[in-house]
Amino acid sequence: MGCCCTKQRVDHKDPAVLASQTYFNISEIEALYDLFKKLSSSIIHDGVISKEEFQLGLFGSSEKRSLFADRVFQLFDSKNDGVIEFGEFVKALSVFHPAAPQAQKADFAFRLYDISQRGFIERGEVREMILALLNESDLVLCHDIIEVIIDKTFEEADSKGDGRIDPEEWQEFVARNPSLLLRNMTIPYLKDLTTQFPSFKLTSGIED
């Protein structure tokens, strides 16, 4: 088992392999490795990004709790071992590449919002996300308004009217208004990493 894990880690760090699996070219993956190194050594220099390091990168604080940051971290951590390795980092960021298909972005967003991870989004999950949003921002909404927003959400997205949004309904819902519903799913910086970030070196190889 140990050999298998070691091999997997090496493969994940191979820029050519990652380039073939993502929307990044080899130079961009090497540039991303510089960002990864910075994030993964911000608290403990161990070659992986912990949740605290991820929060530090996002918010400038490792203490700030956020439901959405937690969910994004969980989705980046595809092996679900509590840390983000470089391969996981690159593959997850690829979804946020401007060239990634809308359906792929919508799928990631669906999994992000499917808090209970049961394969559909229910009213309780939507309410939990709105409450988290209010808790994490200065926005104040009364209970009745929150319920109106949830009603509106399901009127628009739950086309089958069964009280939950399934992946098919979600894709149709997003396709009707992608600019509003997927606006956080594209990171413009990823379009041309190597010129946007001249401080990122185009190095000969990715070190261990």
Partner 1 sequence: KPVSMNAFELICRSQSFNLDSLFEK
Give the separation between CA 87 and CA 75, rounded to whole angstroms. 13
Q: CA–CA distance from 125 to each of 26, 86, 128, 162 (Å)?
A: 39, 30, 5, 15
Residue with smaller CB distance to partner 1, 184 or 203:
184
Which residues 100-139 are close enough to bind partner 1 by CB under 8 A?
A: 109, 112-113, 126, 129-130, 132-133, 136-137, 139
Q: Which two tokens stand for residue 12?
A: 């994940």
Residue with smaller CB distance to partner 1, 19 or 130:
130
Does residue 83 come out as left (phi exceeding 0), alpha (psi in the -120 to 50 range) or beta? beta
Taking CB under 8 A as the criterion, the residue among 39, 84, 90, 115 binding partner 1 is: 39
Q: Where are the beta strands (DSSP E) in the chain?
A: 121-122, 164-165
Task: Please tell me the count of residues contacting partner 1 according to CB under 8 A.
Answer: 44
Taking CB under 8 A as the criterion, the residue among 148, 162, 168, 205 binding partner 1 is: 148
Residue 188 binds partner 1, judged by CB under 8 A: yes
Interacting span for partner 1 (CB under 8 A) from 9-17, 21-29, 65-73, 79-87: 65-73
Taking CB under 8 A as the criterion, the residue among 149, 175, 203, 205 binding partner 1 is: 149
- Is there a contact between 164 and 70 (Cβ–Cβ < 8 Å)? no
Q: What is the CA radius of gyration of the chain?
A: 19
Residue with smaller CB distance to partner 1, 8 or 196:
196
Residue with smaller CB distance to partner 1, 5 or 70:
70
Taking CB under 8 A as the criterion, the residue among 18, 84, 90, 157 binding partner 1 is: 157
Q: Which residues bind partner 1 (CB under 8 A)?
A: 35, 39, 57-60, 66, 68-69, 71-72, 93, 96, 109, 112-113, 126, 129-130, 132-133, 136-137, 139, 141, 145, 148-150, 152-153, 156-157, 177, 180-184, 187-189, 196-197
